[in-house]
Amino acid sequence: MNIQGQAALVTGGGSGLGEATARELARLGAKVAVLDLNMANAERVAAEIGGVAVHCNVSDADSMAQAIQTASAAHGTARILMQIAGIGTAKRVVGKDGKAAPLEEFAKVINVNLIGTYNAARLFAEACSKLDPLEDGARGVMVFTSSVAAFDGQVGQQAYSASKAGVVGMTLPMARDLAQHGIRVCTIAPGLFKTPLLASLARAGPAIVGGQHPLPRSLGQAQRICRTGLPHRAQRPPERRSHSLGRRAAHGPTLKEKNEQNRCLRRAGGVW
Active-site pick, 124, 144, 160, 193? 160
Question: For residues 109 and 179, which CB has a smaller minimum distance to ligand NAD in the complex?
Answer: 109
166 binds ligand NAD (CB under 6 A): no
Helix (H, G, I), strand (E, B) or coil at 159: helix
Handedness of CA 233, 236, 238, 241 (dihedral sign): negative
Stretch that binds ligand NAD, among 71-79, 89-97, 186-194, 259-267 (CB under 6 A): 186-194
Q: What is the CA radius of gyration of the chain?
A: 18
161 binds ligand NAD (CB under 6 A): no
**Shortest CB 71 distance to ligand NAD, Å:** 13
Handedness of CA 44, 48, 54, 60 (dihedral sign): negative
Work out which of 16, 182, 229, 231 binds ligand NAD, going by CB under 6 A: 16
145 binds ligand NAD (CB under 6 A): yes
CB 80 within 8 A of CB 141: yes
Of the candidates 118, 121, 112, 117, the residue with the CA atom closest to the CA atom of residue 80:
121
Number of residues that bind ligand NAD (CB under 6 A): 30
**Shortest CB 7 distance to ligand NAD, Å:** 18
118 is a catalytic site residue: no
Q: How many helices (H) and strands (E) does the chain have?
A: 10, 6
Question: For residues 30 and 209, which CB has a smaller minimum distance to ligand NAD in the complex?
Answer: 209
The residues annotated as belonging to the active site are: 160
